[in-house]
Amino acid sequence: MQHGRDEELLDWVRQAHQTSTWTASVCSGSIVLAAAGLLDGKRATSHWAALSALKILGAIPVGDERIVQAGDRIVTGAGVSAGIDRWPGIGP
């Protein structure tokens, strides 16, 4: 993923995280968070095809949870449609 190598983007993510209430990603966006160092040693999820990259970047990949909270301000989500049934009025 080319965005995981974009130092300008990674610097922006690091700076934004310093003052954010929440830092979150969906799908392979967690690769950017991991490349920025925000997921070092933390549990995280992603699209199933990107889980191995999370490990390479220092995160602890979680493949059996759709939403993973890492610490008190970081949340990662699996594939884009993984949480659809969690919205009110949708799903069981």
Contacts by 14-21, CB closer than 8 A, 24 or more apart:
14/38, 17/73, 17/74, 20/73, 21/73
Catalytic residue among 10, 13, 26, 27: 27
Give, for all 92 residues of the chain, the pLDDT tens digit: 666 677 999 999 999 999 999 999 999 999 999 999 999 999 999 999 999 999 999 999 999 999 999 988 999 999 877 766 655 554 45
Q: Which pLDDT value is given to residue 72?
A: 87
CATH homologous superfamily for the domain 2-12+22-81: Class I glutamine amidotransferase (GATase) domain (3.40.50.880)
| Catalytic residue check, 27 | yes
Predicted pLDDT of residue 1: 60
